[in-house]
Amino acid sequence: MRIVIAAVGRLKQGPERELAERYRKRAADIGRSAGVSDFDIIEIKDSRAADAARRVLEESIAVANVIPDDAVIVMLDAQGESMSSASFAGRLQGWRAQNRPAVAFVIGGDDGLAPTIREKSSLAIAFGAATWPHQLVRIMLLEQLYRAITILAGHPYHRS
β-strand partners of 38? 2
How high is the pLDDT of residue 119?
94
pLDDT tens column, 58-115: 999 999 999 999 999 999 998 899 999 999 999 999 999 999 999 999 999 989 999 9
Please give the average per-residue pLDDT across 43-65, as a whole number. 96
Amino acid (one-letter) located at 63: V
CA dist 5 and 20 (Å) reads: 12
Domains of the chain: 2-152 (3.40.1280.10)
pLDDT tens column, 4-36: 999 999 998 999 999 999 999 999 999 888 888
Which runs of consecutive H residues, i.e. helices, occur in 6-152?
15-31, 52-66, 85-97, 115-120, 134-152
Q: What dihedral angle (degrees, nearest 10) is formed by the CA atoms of 35, 123, 84, 135?
A: 90
